[in-house]
Chain A
């Protein structure tokens, strides 16, 4: 890579180079390149099995091994475990909410703070995160007492507590009502306005188009399009490969 490519301002927040993953003989993800600016809002779409979640797991460190290389704010992430990446400001949510089921809502959000260097004022910070997602009133509840959208918001509060530079929201709106989707979008926009870059992986097209300033499309483990949402969605190969199937 030449020096000219490394220096252009602003420096990229996330740089994925030739990231790929194989399971035995099956190629789940093939040499995907991606550069993300700080504070960017990126939508990632693609049919089921197109490698979206595989890509997320490579970035987040859930796969111990994959091909290619991932850099966050100039620092290489390769070989780092998920917790080390989380502390560097890379947060993610899961397709299905994964709360700590025996801990209260407040304690759920305190966990990332306790291990993120904020042990002294973890409770205050956790309450602040809960207020951002409008869950403060339910701080003493257990996760199973929450509605689905509240569980999604709890998941986001836990991610916010990491004070992330980048948030990967992996289908954070699946199964939610129209109004609830709007709530989550508003939340993500607020978070983004405060400086966090967001990668939104979503099947709900309305959410993706409303939220994203840039859109990429995966099909069969490859990135087939990358650009402004309106232009990408108008591309014939995207329509054929993805939208046509729905």
Chain B
């Protein structure tokens, strides 16, 4: 904002707060502008990667985009409403195995698989929430913590989707308009990421988002002023679970093979929490920043250090950030500004 603009607002503020303040406080959400920018940015990424013409670019891009979906999903429940979902790996694997099962049963392709994965994982979130959200928030968190273990048990015992041996999905060499399968997967994940960020942003700026923030700040007061807290929390858990499932659905298509160990990898659980918290939970941009930063670092580091050490560092970063910068990178910058 220009200096002149600030001064005029101040001057008006003294005389007629009624007219000026709402203008200041409730900027129009600019939804159309956001979507336009997101699509342009996405197109630029596709063009840029095609110009570079390196398959590794698609690989790294997919890796980061998948985490943008996952951490935006976590943020809807964790960042806005303050309810911690530890089960990212479980929801993601639920999505991945939904895609596998549908492929085996009906020969369905990736895109219907993604829709179904969102549906199944959303129901899973709704069910877990319905059983535990009447209680204090920690009980929901504890339930999600165990959810992944149980789902893994079920999958390991379910021979139809390969059990502990895993399942294969034969990848086509090429998918027509795309130059390579890698580009195809990248574009799929790019679209999902734009949708996930867009949804998380829309939620944040909507009535639902305000209600969730009120719940996070003070659930009892929220209830007392007419916020239907249980219903909003259930909507948020469902949405959170569904988006996590969506992030997982392309996983078997991407790698061509999936076993329970890979699908339930600890990396998903920890990154889904670390990325939004490090980027700045509570704002739609925080998870994006966290995912790009942390995902990029991990992608770069896999070349030089072991994956275990990589994850160990993420764990330490999570602990150090929540202790020293509880508002994340965004919060830190806002305070400086």
Contacts and interface: CB of A to CB of B under 8 A. Distances in A.
> Direct A–B touching in the complex (beta carbon < 8 Å)?
yes
Interface of A: 60, 62, 81-84, 86-87, 91-92, 94, 98-104, 106-107, 110-112, 114-116, 119, 123-124, 127, 131, 136-137, 139-140, 158-159, 161-162
Nearest to A127: B18
Contacts of A82: 220, 223-224
Nearest to A81: B223
User: Top 9 nearest A-B pairs by Cβ distance?
Assistant: A112-B225, A100-B217, A86-B226, A98-B221, A82-B223, A123-B22, A139-B21, A114-B207, A136-B17
Nearest to B225: A112
Interface stretch (B138-146, B190-198, B208-216): B208-216
27 contacts: A62-B223, A81-B223, A82-B224, A83-B222, A86-B223, A86-B225, A92-B224, A94-B221, A98-B224, A100-B217, A103-B217, A106-B21, A107-B210, A110-B210, A111-B214, A111-B227, A112-B226, A114-B207, A114-B211, A115-B211, A116-B226, A123-B26, A127-B18, A127-B21, A139-B25, A162-B225, A162-B226
Contacts of B25: 104, 106-107, 123, 139-140
B216 to A, nearest CB: 7
B226 A115 contact: yes
Nearest to A60: B224
A111 B208 CA distance: 10
Contacts of A106: 21-22, 25
Interface of B is mostly: helix
A83 B22 contact: no
B290 interface: no
Nearest to A131: B18
Nearest to B25: A106
A102 B26 contact: no
Interface residues of B, number: 28
Contacts of A137: 13, 17
Contact of B21 (A83, A87, A136): A136
Nearest to B22: A123
Given A104-B25, A112-B227, 9 more contacts: A62-B224, A83-B225, A86-B224, A98-B221, A102-B217, A111-B210, A111-B227, A123-B26, A161-B225
A161 B221 CA distance: 14
Given A114-B207, A127-B18, A101 B217 contact: yes
Contacts of B228: 81, 83-84, 115
A98 B222 CA distance: 9
A95 to B, nearest CB: 12
Nearest to B19: A127
A133 to B, nearest CB: 13
A129 to B, nearest CB: 12
A62 B221 CA distance: 10
